[in-house]
Amino acid sequence: MSEKDLGESLDNFEEEVENLKNTKMKLFGITMTPTTIGAAFALLTSILGALYGVFESYKAFQEIAEKLEVLDIDAVEARNVAIERKLDDAIDYTRDIKNSLRDDIIRVERVAESASNRVKTVQDDIDQRMRELSDLSRESEKDVRNTMREVEDRIDSKMEKLDEDLRETLQKALDNPLSDG
């Protein structure tokens, strides 16, 4: 039973939609179809939306204009001048710091170069003294060796003389007839 009612309702609905497509209506003295009415409605709402957008833009423009009227241009300009002055002072201060650092770096480089030159001079002096000391040491060693050879030669000659004297004395004692005993 409900299927029959539902089927009849659908059939009736389809017939009404078909009748609606073919229906012509008069609006403000103009004959129109429902499609034309829908297009006119869409056009009307688009125009109203555009007008609303223009109104809101105009309102925002008016608010900005009011804010600009209230804005104290002299105060802004004075503030900008103060900021520029501070920036100029900061630039001068930075330039002074840069120059001071450059002078410090140059001074440190000079001190380092001077220290390097002094170290080189001291190193050269030490090297020269070491060479002189080495030469003196070799000379002293040579002198000591020569002295030792001379002393050794004297000792050898005295030993030989002593040996000869001892042999002589011993020979005399052996050759002495009284020593037989």
Lowest mean pLDDT among 8-12, 113-117, 127-131, 151-155: 8-12
Q: Which residues pair with 26 in a beta bridge?
A: 31
Average pLDDT (15-30) is 72
> How much is the pLDDT for 31?
78
- Tell me if 127 is assigned to some domain: yes
d(CA 159, CA 162): 5
Judged on CB neighbours under 10 Å (0-12, 13-18, 19+), 32 is: middle
0.95 exceeded by pTM: no
Check residue 2 and give its pLDDT: 46
Structural domains of the chain, count: 2
Structure tokens at 103: 């002078």
| Chain segment 55-99, per-residue pLDDT in tens | 999 999 888 888 777 777 788 888 899 999 999 999 999 999 999
Identify the weakest region by mean pLDDT among 39-53, 95-109, 163-177.
Answer: 163-177
The neighbouring-strand residues paired with 30 are 27
The residue segments making up the domain with residue 112 are 72-169
- Given 52, 71, 90, which residue is the final one in a domain? 71
Residue with tokens 């009227």: 69
The CA-based angle 33-36-38, given to 5 degrees, is: 110
Same domain for 132 and 101: yes
Residue with tokens 């000659």: 157
Last residue of a domain, one of 45, 71, 97: 71
Residues 37 and 17 in one domain: yes
| Position 9 pLDDT exceeds 60 | yes
Q: What is the pLDDT of residue 4?
A: 52
Q: Which residues pair with 25 in a beta bridge?
A: 32
